[in-house]
Structure formats: C-alpha cells, structure tokens
A = this chain, B = another copy of it.
Amino acid sequence: MAGFGALIADSPLFKVYLYWGAILIVKMLSMAFFTARRRMRSNAYANPEDAVSHPGAKVVLDDPDVERVRRAHRNDLENVVPFLLLCPLYLATGPGVTLATNLIRMFAVARIAHTALYLNEVPVLRGVAWVVGLAVTLFMAGATIIYSC
C-alpha cells in the first residue's frame, strides 16, 4: 500500500526513516560545532562583534581550515537536505522494505564517511562517498518519477 497514510507506526519503513533521518540531521548540525572549534583554533571570526571578545582574534573570511569545514557543511546542505526531502516521497511509492532500508542505510553511512574524509583531507575516497550518496538519491528520484508519471 502506498501513500503517506501508510507510513504509520506499525510500518517497518516508518521507523527506519525516523531513525536515520534524525541521525543524519544530528550529523549535519554537528558541522556547526566543528566550524566553531576551527574558528577558535585559528582565531578567525566572521563577525567583528564576535572577534572583539577573543583577545588576538581577527575578522577573517578566508581561513583555509575554517573554510574546509564550511565547504563540508555546505556539501551536506546540497546532498543530505535533498535526500531527506525526497525520502518520504520515495517511501510513499511503496518500495520493497529490504531495498528501501538498505538504500537509506547506505546513504547515511556514505555521508558520515564523506564528512570524516573531507575534514581529514582524503581526496579520492571522499569522491566515492559523495557519488554513493548521490547515486542513492538519484535512484530514489528515478523510482519516484516512474511511479508518479
């Protein structure tokens, strides 16, 4: 059975989506802590009113270490947010439970790996993690379009 009305408490996919959706949102929010930590270490703040309260701090908008965390954060906005917007649409098409569960898990693992690899400056594997996440989202989008057209 398809539809949002079917995503109820006794549906197995309902809990998978709630669990991994919440995990991915915590992961995405955690980027702000990494940015704040980097700003403190580099003494590089974006706002003059923030810099005055830290002795020796400067207003810097191009600190390489801070910008790396901000790029990883923006990459999450560009990839995790579309996935979380699409996932309930895909689940509402009534996909197989095993397939949908594994797609959601694969996306979550790929994005957690992507952040770790980005912050640690690992080039090729970071690209692989990004492609895996993108491929899962595009597969779900394709299945949703085929179902609904």
- Write the residues of chain A forming the contact surface with B, with a CB cutoff of 8 angstroms: 1-9, 11, 14-19, 21-23, 25-26, 28-29, 31-32, 46-50, 52-53, 61-62, 67-68, 71, 73, 77-79, 81-82, 84-86, 88-89, 92-94, 121-124, 134, 137-138, 140-142, 144-145, 147-149
Contacts and interface: CB of A to CB of B under 8 A. Distances in A.
Contact of A8 (B3, B48, B138): B3
Binding site secondary structure of chain A: helix
Instruction: Tell me how many chains of this kind the complex includes.
Output: 3
A137 B21 CA distance: 13
Task: Please name the 9 residue pairs, one residue from A and one from B, whose CB atoms are nearest each other, closest first.
Answer: A3-B8, A49-B123, A18-B148, A2-B9, A19-B148, A22-B144, A5-B5, A15-B148, A22-B141
A114 to B, nearest CB: 13
B5 A82 contact: no
Contact of A21 (B16, B67, B73, B144): B144
A86 to B, nearest CB: 5
